[in-house]
Amino acid sequence: MNCLQSWPEPVVRVQYLSESGMRAIPDRYIKPPRDRPTLKPGSEINQDVDIPVVDLQNLFNKDRALQEETLRRISSACIDWGFFQAVNHGVSHELMRRTREVWREFFNLPVEVKQEYANTPSTYEGYGSRLGVEKGAILDWSDYFFLHYMPVSLRNQSKWPSQPSSCRELVSEYGAEVVKLCGRLLKAMSKNLGLKEDYLQNAFGGENIGACLRVNFYPKCPQPDLTLGLSSHSDPGGMTILLPDHDVAGLQVRKNDKWITVKPVPNAFIVNVGDQIQVLSNAVYKSVEHRVIVNSEKDRVSLAFFYNPKSDLLIEPAKELVSEDRPALYNPMTFDEYRLYIRTKGPCGKAQVESLKSNR
Ligand code: OGA
Ligand code: NI
């Protein structure tokens, strides 16, 4: 594991490149032509397809019909898209706004202040500018801050930003609310899969789930057509709750070999299925590839909250979803082992979950 102790090359902050006023981005950020965004950011916004919007208001309504309608919508979104925007999700809009804004302020602090939190690939905690440790890799146009929220044993607030002064408190409060939302969504997904309502939560380790927050910062880019803010990947964990920026789009979801730019609905969360739910559901739900485009006009902040299985539990297809006709598609693996791949190689589409396929 020595390769995960330090970065293979000196770390360059993308914010620094962006603010230097350079007109041409360094070669390290130029993607091969097949990976570049084809349309100018913003111009696809008039597209007529988008990921579904699901209103969670009636998820636990006493009225069975209303509840079932909500469950059906979640089910189709998970099956058809692996992604949806959730509204009426129960998390305070004010808390969402304040938490996003405190992170924007953090990223607007001088690079030297953030440098105190510089991370290493051993845990990724702190201020970072790349995923993966492959020497010579083409990099993404973003900086980020990564922190552990759960389990409590890994939550170390001294590794969270001390300024702005409300940052730690807001992250604690925000995390608690989002964890509750994740519990509700896992119940809904379990029911929709025909499993006991606690199945997924228990498979994730009950109370002992893992959760982390990656705050992504995508600085303005002078040549947005040549690069990506975040390369195509599926999320390795269980489920992701993304709080996107309120007025600048960037997230693209892959649908039938096309990239769909998500138009953020005000106060919505973007929910997506991760690789671990693909494995547990024996591919009834699939994690879907997504990526981020950047632009020359506005920087963008997003908060990705990853809700994950306890890191040392074996994750494998639910017995209830395995039959002679539909054998287990994946070999069991712990999330600890699983996430080493992205931590080493960086984002690689869906190559990883494919590599778990059992050979029968
Ligand atoms: C991620 C991610 C999307 C975004 O952090 O895994 O996909 O819009 N982020 O920042
Ligand atoms: Ni992602």
Q: How far apart are CA 154 and CA 22, in angstroms?
A: 39
pLDDT of residue 346: 80
Q: Could you tell me the mean pLDDT of each successive run of 10 residues in the chain, 360 residues long?
A: 80 96 97 86 65 96 95 98 98 98 97 95 95 94 98 96 98 98 98 98 97 98 98 97 96 94 97 97 97 97 98 97 96 91 81 76
Ligand nearest to the CA of 287: 2
pLDDT of residue 1: 47
Number of H helices, E strands in the chain: 9, 14
Distance 172 CA to ligand 1 centre (A): 20
**Domains in the chain, start-ordered, CATH in brackets?**
28-355 (2.60.120.330)
Distance 323 CA to ligand 2 centre (A): 31
The pTM of this model reads 0.96
Q: Are strands 53-55 and 83-87 parallel, antiparallel or unpaired?
A: parallel
Query: Which of 140, 212, 292, 295 should be mutated for ligand 1, with most atoms under 8 A from CB?
Result: 292
pLDDT of residue 28: 97
Ligand 1 contacts CB of residue 216 (under 6 A) = yes
Ligand 1 contacts CB of residue 300 (under 6 A) = no
Q: Are strands 251-255 and 290-292 parallel, antiparallel or unpaired?
A: antiparallel
What DSSP string describes 153-187? Answer: GG--GGGS---STTHHHHHHHHHHHHHHHHHHHHH
Q: How far apart are CA 39 and CA 25, in angstroms?
A: 19
pLDDT of residue 115: 96
Specify the residue with its C-alpha closest to ligand 1, atom 5: 304
